[in-house]
Amino acid sequence: MIRIANAPCSWGVLEFELEGKAAGFEQVLDEIRDTGYQGTELGDRGFMPTDPPELRKELEKRSLSMVGAFVPVFLKDPSKHIPGAEAAVKTAKLMADAGYPDAFIVLADDNGSVEERKLNAGRVTPSMGLTSYEWKIFAAGANLVAGEVKAKTGLRTVFHHHCAGYVETPGEIDTLLELTDPLLVGLVLDMGHYMFGGGDPLDALKKHSKRIWHVHFKDCHPGIAEKSRKEKWDYFKSVGNGVFCELGKGSVDFPAIVKELHHQSYSGWIVVEQDVLPGMGNPKVCAQRNRDFIRSLGL
């Protein structure tokens, strides 16, 4: 059975140091519940309670499940691997101890931390990517993090490809999957990031079906994406200008995506992520429209 969740990033709760103030966790959880979702992601560590019974209580009183937690690690640097694994295990243990053994660690690059990738999100070239040697280091780090999380908490790890990081384009995603252990590292397919990164997420869904353990629904506005490329906006300006629009208003073919998910007998979570900057727009209204759109697809 497919279940639908939303995430704190749809309320401007992001892993980056940005101006503006996002909503508190109580408001975010209330609005996720009120707009018809069944689950949430954790958000940055410390956004929600870090005491497992307290976290469980806050979720249960809203009839929500914990789906996963985003953990960024600068995997290109081998000195970051062990600290990254420790952070991931700590986060995974919080979710497991709160009673959510099926939640995922959503591992990602430390997106936005490399100036060249941040400035060229949505239009990176091969010369901006990792070398063969760096890819081996990067993949070894992903395997290490996922292995530690699995061994110490039982939770599984999915990698989140993401614009403004070293795993953005379809080719970079292919390389990551080729170099990582398929028993340890799955893929969370994010429709909007895949589209902005230069691919068709329906193609990815078919190509990587065995590695896709988790799904993010995000749309990508073609006109804003094109303007971003033409005017050479950085990643945050693209987000601030609404490149990740409401579902159904961009170029992702969600009816075809849903049809393919059913064809593959996908039975996991779909998490809506409409990335916005802190204080941007009206997240609750967008969350409701996104949920209504997904209902129109039969989910």
CATH number of 3-218+253-296: 3.20.20.150
Which tokens belong to 192?
């909007």
Of residues 71, 125, 111, the one with CA closest to residue 239: 111
pLDDT score recorded for residue 16: 46
Could you give phi then psi for residue 35, rounded to 5 degrees?
-95, 10
Q: How far apart are CA 192 and CA 198, in angstroms?
A: 10
Measure the CA dihedral 129/145/113/11, to 10°: 120
The DSSP H or E segment spanning 134 is helix 132-153
Q: How far apart are CA 71 and CA 221, in angstroms?
A: 26
pLDDT score recorded for residue 22: 60
What is the mean pLDDT, run by run of 10 residues, along the chain of 299 residues? 94 60 85 98 91 98 98 98 98 98 98 96 96 98 98 98 98 98 98 98 98 98 97 94 95 98 97 77 91 98
pLDDT score recorded for residue 282: 87
Q: How far apart are CA 67 and CA 35, in angstroms?
A: 17
pTM as predicted: 0.95
pLDDT score recorded for residue 280: 61
Which pLDDT tens digit goes with each residue over 141-163?
999 999 999 999 999 999 999 99
